[in-house]
């Protein structure tokens, strides 16, 4: 119903245009366009290893994007995903290293507790903004960003300072024990349980937003907050949405720590929050669409990385391509004569 | 000499499916004051907006001094000397009066900057010449309603307006303020300006106008000189048909009711202050009773709606539903079980326009559905169809509410709120946008719910609606109770209007 | 000794506040026209990079600064064009611009200099007072232009709504686009000044200053004077956190780095406190 062709077309156009631009860039900027092109487009699929790496890197992105989808559906502009993921990394690393050392605890429990701690940390940070808006009207859009910025600095300080593993050259906390990490699925590739876990989160998010009363209430609030109050919906729905949104971003942070890296590294979120936001916008705040969009973004990232290693292109080309896709999709939707705001709340015709 | 002429003006509004003007003609000579009268929805405002260039007519033309004015262009209309004073202010709130008057032809200093001194002087001269009650330096946001009217008129004149079109200029003014406004208008008229006065208040018209055009259903029904015109005759011309079907439909509904039941009030308001410095109001509605509260815009009706519906919690006084304080009842329970509420602001508050008709209809019945209903939606479709039936709402369950016409939106709102006899019904302007037949249906439905034990609080700005359907009537003026009594022939439309405009307190 | 410290704190406050103020006044132009300038941050970043690149290439600080302002304007043309011309959501377009800015800077840097790291431009380096004077006079001119000029007056009318603007014969879309361009140029110049201060472009050097400028627009009550005052306050915060960091900056784990978080947290608190006070005032009145 919501995954119909009408809604898919502008998104596919935008993503296609981004790919076209990538093609142009590789042709124009590289001294060896053939190598650059094949590295960019095919590199991520060249081996099982690189493909698994692509899947693994999509997991935190998808989690952040799902969080952004829920917040946007509720009409809350959560711009703090980056910081919520960042506190998630710290919380996960702290809990995992504390419990991982304790004898006798089953690994599954340690990992679950670490992920919960990360979710709680992200939730708390997001909740501050939601409560501030409910009580005073201070815009979530601004406070979530500012608090996230402060949190990122604090987390970076903690990881690079008091919590740093002094035996290592890295600005990072000590590596986690094997039992406190998400198991690898296909060693030696970095693919871990984080990827299937992110798929499960996507399924839960889609179920929550489309098949529950609360999900439908959140959608009504996002479309018209005044109407939501008039029909008696709780003013705390915004809190709930921000809480879930921040929690998902926190889980994304735990994926980074407990998955591939196996430790908390300074600055390891590396834009996952902002990219998650972009994925959610391209997906029209629809959890179903967030999965392909996140995979697409992960592909762009992996492609740029590959082409910067194997050819002479910039690894940051992917963020230009993502921005172009975003620009195009706002323009596309506006151009098709549909009601405004469909990027943020999903079109009115859905569900 | 003929200054303004309009002929064959036709305008059809696609989104509300109404033919607002159907071949309207009009002419205005120098120094003439002409009134255009008609009921709500007769097409007066549309005509005014066409003349002012704010609305592009489908056909027909406007000429000033014989020259055709390009349709749909404010600039052209202004250049031709047409000044428009809209019903709701179009002044820029954050600017001063002088700045507003100067907009578009600002006096400059150094080529780049606004010369405040020159702007002040220009406005002051205008104020002086016609006797406006205005300080050029005051911010528009600080003006009273009457001062805004003056500022709007001054702006029209400042832009070289020779022909002034005023759309319901007195609708939110008190009697004495209206009288002052008319003095101003007659000064302008004697200074040679032609004035077109759009109104539905006949008594005003006969005092000030030279001639009267009567509109009905988008057509000119009569053109008469004001001298010797009879108020009763005019009002019968304005009304659709000899007897007023709307009133009769409502009275029919009233007759079908059971009248007020005795018993403890279901809704009670005690010591509620609606405006700073106003005397607090008290009211109570018993089960089975319909209380209509009426007031002109800006006199506290909106605030009363906010408090009675529980959207605002009063600092002073209390609102009780079934004896319990409104703020102590969880809002979800209040709305799904105890209180039906149709807001006057239908588009923003009453409906979720980007959502489907189904989501809007079932917004209070969310708890009835399970996961598979939310996914599949067939059961919700059926429930929506059932809910739509009593008011013959023509909408598909999955149609977006924004695509519905005004009348269907109101049906949608009422279908949701009147689906069961809740203890209290707070209905603000419940009949707005409905055609006559549906008005009757809705009024009947409200009466039936009252008969089943609902206490109904009607908040309406139309005196006719208040008198037509209530057991008791109350009028507000400046946030205070100006009249309260049983609706048994004693409060006539005239006496109620007098109370609402502060003529008797 | 104490006097010296105070003077240096004062100078450091001005140096931090000046770029904020210019960017914030640009944001004010957009806000006054009824639009939202999320892309201040992005414009500052491309402004900083372009200034360094052009300053490096031409050896002229003035050319660098002008190019920085122009680059900021180009970025905002994307946002304003999408929002006004294509009726795109201004929030999404602004976010896209903020994602685009670091990406395009990095790609350009890689293509031109083979690095995506620090780009030194000694030629761009300017004296602290020169920069402060340039930014302060640009801010003053912009404030004057917004509050006193015919353009500024019409801009504010455009911000009151399309219907009101139309009734006054003002095409609100054109004014809104112009406001976006002003915001872009102002924040581009502000970013250029950041680069000029240290004579180099450093990735991520704006570090959220564009967002703080946006907060200053709200905190300043949408009036130029108030906005400037809010920026001075934030400038003081940055200066204080730098100063305290200077005292204890010996050990890496001393917590000095943590102080950098203070301006952001305090800005958020200030916004909440101000909005809370505003709500109480409205409820009372």
Interface contacts (A, C; CB < 8 Å): 163
Share of chain A above pLDDT 70, in %: 92
Candidates B352, B358, B380, B398: best to mutate against A (most CBs of A within 10 A) is: B352
Instruction: Using CB atoms, list chains with 3+ pairs below 8 Å to chain A.
Output: B, C
Q: What is the pLDDT of residue C178?
A: 96
- Is there a contact between B500 and B298 (Cβ–Cβ < 8 Å)? no
Res B371 pLDDT > 50:
yes
Q: Exposure of A187 by Cβ count < 10 A (0-12 exposed, 13-18 middle, 19+ buried)?
A: exposed
Reply yes or no on whether the pLDDT at A338 is more than 50. Answer: no
CB C48 within 8 A of CB C71: no
Residue B269 has a CB neighbour count (10 Å cut-off) of: 22
Q: C28: closest CA among C156, C189, C209?
A: C156
Nearest to C22 by CA among C272, C236, C189, C219: C189
Confidence at residue A245, expressed as pLDDT on a 0 to 100 scale: 98
pLDDT greater than 60 at residue B40: yes
pLDDT at position B505: 43
In contact, C108 and C50? CB cutoff 8 Å = no
Q: Tell me the domain boundaries of chain A.
A: 59-298
Note whether A160 contacts C: Cβ–Cβ < 8 A.
yes
In angstroms, what is the C-alpha Rg of chain C? 19
Provide, rounded to the nearest whole percent, the portion of chain B with pLDDT above 70.
Answer: 91
Nearest partner of B304 among B480, B466, B145, B446, judged by Cα: B480
Q: Report the C-alpha gap between C30 and A69 in whole angstroms.
A: 27
Chain A residue with CA closest to B358: the answer is A351
Q: Which domains does chain C have, with CATH numbers?
A: 2-284 (1.10.3470)
Could you say which of B54, B93, B104 has the minimum Cβ distance to residue C168?
B104
Contact, B12 vs B60, CB < 8 A?
no
Strands B113-114 and B108-109: antiparallel
- B324 three-class SS: strand
Confidence of residue B237 (pLDDT cuts 50, 70, 90): confident
A186 touches chain C (CB under 8 A): no
Structure token pair of residue A238: 């915004």
Q: What would the mean pLDDT of C153-173 be, rounded to a whole number?
A: 89
Q: Do B334 and A210 touch (CB under 8 A)?
A: no
Per-residue pLDDT tens for B272-303?
A: 998 878 899 999 999 999 999 988 777 888 99
Q: Which of A1, A213, A223 sits opposite B367 (nearest CB)?
A: A213
Q: Which of C80, C89, C216 best tests the A interface by mutation, with the highest count of A CBs <10 A?
A: C89
Q: Are A70 and A242 in contact (CB under 8 A)?
A: no
- DSSP letter at B355 equals S
What's the burial of B29, exposed, middle or buried (CB within 10 Å: 0-12/13-18/19+)? middle
Select from B342, B363, B400 the residue whose CB has the most chain A CBs within 10 Å, as the one to mutate to test that interface. Answer: B363
Note whether C89 contacts A: Cβ–Cβ < 8 A.
yes
Choose the mutation target among A227, A287, A288 for the interface with B, i.e. most B CBs under 10 Å: A227
Lowest mean pLDDT among A290-304, B166-180, B410-424, C11-25: B166-180
Report pLDDT digits (tens) over B102-150.
988 888 888 889 888 999 999 999 888 888 888 999 999 888 878 888 8
Q: Is the CB of residue A317 less than 8 Å away from at least one CB of chain C?
A: yes
Give the right CATH number for B2-238 from 3.40.50.300, 3.20.10.10, 3.60.15.10, 2.40.50.140: 3.40.50.300
Mean pLDDT of B79-85: 90
Chains sharing 3 or more CB pairs under 8 A with chain B: A, C
Other beta carbons within 10 angstroms of residue B96's beta carbon come to: 22
Token pair, residue B209, equals 């106008």
A contacts of C253 (beta carbons < 8 Å): 161-162, 164
Does residue B351 belong to the interface with chain A, where contact is any CB pair within 8 Å? yes
Answer with the residue of higher pLDDT: B9 or A12.
B9
Distance CA A297, CA C59 (A): 39
Say yes or no for a CB contact (<8 Å) between B92 and C154: no
| Residue-wise pLDDT tens digits, A97-138 | 999 877 678 889 999 999 999 999 999 999 999 999 999 999
The average pLDDT across A54-73 equals: 96
C-alpha torsion angle, residues B74, B77, B78, B83 (rounded to 10): -100
Separation between Cα atoms, residue C249 and residue C240, nearest integer Å: 13
SS3 content of chain A, % helix, strand, coil (to 5): 75, 0, 25
Q: Strand B82-85 vs strand B67-69: parallel, antiparallel, or unpaired?
A: unpaired
Domain ranges of chain B: 2-238, 245-500
C96/C116: higher pLDDT: C96
The total of other beta-carbon atoms located within 10 Å of residue A46's CB is 13
DSSP classification of residue B350: I
Judging contacts by C-beta atoms under 8 Å, the chain B residues touching residue C166 are 54, 74
Question: In the structure, what pLDDT confidence band is assigned to residue B97 with cuts at 50, 70 and 90?
Answer: very high
d(CA B267, CA B323): 8
Q: Which homologous superfamily is B245-500 in?
A: P-loop containing nucleotide triphosphate hydrolases (3.40.50.300)
Please tell me whether the peptide bond between A109 and the residue prior to it is cis, using omega within 30 degrees of 0.
no
pLDDT of residue B362: 93
Give the minimum alpha-carbon distance from B432 to chain C in angstroms, rounded to a whole number. 23
Q: What is the mean pLDDT of chain A?
A: 88
**% of chain B beyond a pLDDT of 90:** 36
Which pLDDT belongs to residue B459? 94
Cα C189 to Cα B475, C22, C139, distances in angstroms? 61, 8, 11
Q: Using alpha carbons, list the distances in angstroms from residue A47 to A43, A51, A54, A196, B315.
A: 8, 6, 11, 20, 69
For residue B15, the model assigns a pLDDT of 65
Q: How far is C150 from chain B (nearest CA, A)?
A: 5
Identity of the residue in A149, A314, A317 whose CB atom sits nearest the CB atom of C208: A149
CB spacing of C154 vs B90 below 8 angstroms: no
Q: What is residue B281's predicted lDDT score, i.e. its pLDDT?
A: 93
The pLDDT-based confidence of C75 (bands split at 50, 70, 90) is very high
Helical spans, DSSP H, in B131-244: 145-158, 175-190, 202-208, 231-238
Model confidence at B491: pLDDT above 80: no
Average pLDDT over all residues of chain B: 85
Question: Contact, B110 vs C147, CB < 8 A?
Answer: no
Calculate mean pLDDT across residues B260-283.
Answer: 83
End-to-end, the C-alpha distance of chain C in Å comes to: 49
Chain C contact present for A195, CB below 8 A: no
Domains B2-238 and B245-500 share a fold: yes
């Amino acid at each position: 119903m919501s995954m119909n062709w009408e809604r898919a077309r502008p998104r596919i156009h935008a993503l296609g245009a981004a790919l076209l631009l990538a093609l142009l860039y590789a042709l124009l900027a590289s001294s060896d366009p053939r190598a650059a092109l094949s590295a960019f487009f095919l590199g991520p699929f060249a081996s099982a290893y690189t493909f698994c790496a692509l899947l693994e890197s999509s997991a935190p992105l998808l989690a952040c994007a799902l969080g952004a989808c829920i917040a946007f559906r509720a009409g809350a502009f959560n711009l703090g995903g980056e910081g919520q993921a960042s506190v998630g990394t710290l919380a996960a690393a702290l809990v995992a290293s504390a419990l991982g050392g304790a004898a006798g605890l089953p690994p599954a429990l340690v990992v679950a507790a670490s992920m919960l701690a990360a979710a709680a940390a992200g939730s708390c940070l997001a909740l501050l903004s939601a409560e501030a808006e409910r009580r005073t009207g201070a815009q979530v859009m601004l406070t979530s960003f500012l608090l996230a910025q402060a949190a990122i600095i604090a987390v970076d300080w903690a990881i690079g300072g008091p919590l740093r593993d002094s035996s290592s050259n890295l600005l990072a906390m000590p590596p986690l024990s094997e039992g406190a990490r998400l198991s690898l699925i296909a060693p030696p590739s970095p693919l871990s349980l984080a990827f299937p876990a992110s798929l499960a989160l996507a399924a839960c998010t889609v179920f929550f937003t489309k098949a529950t009363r609360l999900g439908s209430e959140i959608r009504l609030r996002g479309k018209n907050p005044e109407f939501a109050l008039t029909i008696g919906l709780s003013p705390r729905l915004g809190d709930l949405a921000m809480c879930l949104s921040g929690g998902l971003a926190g889980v994304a942070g735990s994926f980074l720590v407990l998955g591939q890296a196996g430790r908390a590294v300074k600055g390891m979120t590396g834009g996952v929050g902002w990219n998650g936001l972009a994925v959610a916008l391209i997906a029209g705040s629809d959890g179903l669409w967030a999965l392909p969009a996140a995979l697409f973004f992960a592909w762009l990232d992996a492609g740029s990385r590959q082409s910067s290693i194997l050819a002479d292109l910039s690894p940051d080309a992917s963020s230009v391509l993502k921005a172009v896709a975003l620009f195009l999709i706002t323009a596309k939707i506006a151009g098709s004569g549909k009601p405004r705001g469909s990027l943020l709340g999903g079109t009115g015709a859905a569900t | 000499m003929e200054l303004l002429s309009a002929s064959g003006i036709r305008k059809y509004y696609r989104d509300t499916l109404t033919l607002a003007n159907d071949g309207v003609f009009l002419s205005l000579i120098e120094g003439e004051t002409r009134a255009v009268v008609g009921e709500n929805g007769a097409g007066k405002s549309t005509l005014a907006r066409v003349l002012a260039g704010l609305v592009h007519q489908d056909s027909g033309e406007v000429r000033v001094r014989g020259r055709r004015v390009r349709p749909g262009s404010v600039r052209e209309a202004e250049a031709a000397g047409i000044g428009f004073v809209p019903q709701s202010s179009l002044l820029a709130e954050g600017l001063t009066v002088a700045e507003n008057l100067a907009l578009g032809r600002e006096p400059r200093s150094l080529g780049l900057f606004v010369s405040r001194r020159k702007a002040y002087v220009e406005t002051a001269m205008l104020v002086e010449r016609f006797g406006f009650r205005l300080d050029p330096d005051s911010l528009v946001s600080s003006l009273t309603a009457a001062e805004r009217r003056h500022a709007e008129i001054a702006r029209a004149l400042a832009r070289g307006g020779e022909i002034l079109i005023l759309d319901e200029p007195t609708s939110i003014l008190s009697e004495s303020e209206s009288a002052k406004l008319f003095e101003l208008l007659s000064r302008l008229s004697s200074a040679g300006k032609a004035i077109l006065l759009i109104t539905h208040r006949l008594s005003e018209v006969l005092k000030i106008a030279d001639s009267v055009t009567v509109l009905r259903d988008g057509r000119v029904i009569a053109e008469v000189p004001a001298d010797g015109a009879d108020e009763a005759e005019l009002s019968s011309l304005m009304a659709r048909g000899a007897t007023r079907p709307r009133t009769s439909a409502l009275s029919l509904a009233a007759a079908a009711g059971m009248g007020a039941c005795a018993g403890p009030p279901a809704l009670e308001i005690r010591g509620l202050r609606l405006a700073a410095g106003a005397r607090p109001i008290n009211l109570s509605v018993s089960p089975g009773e319909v209380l209509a509260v009426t007031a002109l815009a800006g006199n506290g009706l909106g605030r009363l709606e906010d408090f009675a519906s529980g959207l605002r919690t009063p600092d002073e006084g209390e609102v009780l539903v079934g004896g319990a304080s409104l703020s102590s009842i969880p809002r979800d329970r209040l709305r799904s079980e105890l209180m039906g509420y149709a807001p006057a602001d239908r588009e923003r508050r009453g409906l979720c326009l980007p959502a489907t008709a189904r989501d809007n209809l079932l917004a209070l019945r969310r708890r009835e559905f399970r996961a598979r209903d939310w996914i599949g939606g067939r059961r919700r479709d059926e429930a929506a169809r059932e809910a739509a039936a009593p008011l013959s709402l023509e909408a598909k369950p999955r149609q977006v509410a924004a695509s519905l016409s005004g009348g269907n939106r109101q049906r949608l709102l009422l279908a949701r709120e009147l689906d069961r006899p809740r203890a209290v019904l707070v209905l603000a302007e419940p009949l707005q946008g409905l055609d006559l037949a549906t008005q009757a249906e809705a009024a009947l439905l409200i009466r039936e719910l009252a008969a089943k034990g609902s206490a109904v609080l009607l908040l309406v700005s139309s005196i006719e609606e208040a008198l037509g359907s209530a057991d008791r009537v109350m009028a507000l003026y400046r946030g205070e109770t100006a009249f309260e009594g049983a609706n048994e022939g004693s409060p006539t439309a005239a006496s109620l209007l007098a109370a609402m405009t502060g003529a008797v307190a | 000794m104490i006097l010296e410290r105070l003077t240096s704190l004062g100078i450091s406050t001005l140096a931090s506040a000046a770029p904020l103020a210019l960017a914030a006044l640009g944001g004010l132009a957009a806000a006054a026209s009824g639009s939202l300038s999320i892309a201040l941050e992005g414009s500052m970043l491309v402004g900083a990079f372009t200034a360094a690149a052009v300053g490096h290439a031409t050896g002229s600080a003035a050319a660098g600064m002008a190019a920085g302002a122009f680059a900021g304007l180009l970025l905002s043309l994307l946002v304003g064009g999408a929002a006004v011309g294509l009726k795109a959501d201004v929030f999404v377009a602004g976010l896209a611009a903020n994602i685009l800015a670091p990406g395009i800077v990095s790609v350009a840097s890689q293509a031109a200099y083979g690095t995506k790291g620090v780009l030194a431009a000694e030629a761009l380096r300017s004296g602290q007072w020169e920069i402060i004077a340039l930014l302060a006079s640009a801010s003053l001119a912009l404030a004057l232009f917004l509050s006193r000029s015919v353009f500024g007056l019409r801009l504010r009318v455009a911000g009151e709504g399309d219907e009101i603007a139309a009734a006054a014969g003002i095409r609100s879309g054109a004014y809104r686009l112009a406001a976006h361009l002003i915001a872009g140029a102002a924040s581009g110049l502000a970013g250029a000044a950041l680069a000029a201060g240290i004579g180099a472009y450093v990735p991520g050097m704006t570090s959220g200053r564009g967002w703080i400028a946006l907060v200053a627009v709200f905190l300043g009550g949408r009036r130029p004077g108030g906005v400037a005052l809010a920026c001075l306050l934030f400038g003081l915060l940055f200066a204080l956190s730098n100063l305290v960091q200077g005292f204890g900056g010996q050990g890496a784990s001393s917590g000095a780095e943590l102080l950098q978080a203070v301006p952001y947290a305090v800005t958020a608190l200030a916004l909440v406190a101000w909005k809370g006070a505003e709500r109480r005032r409205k409820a009372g009145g």
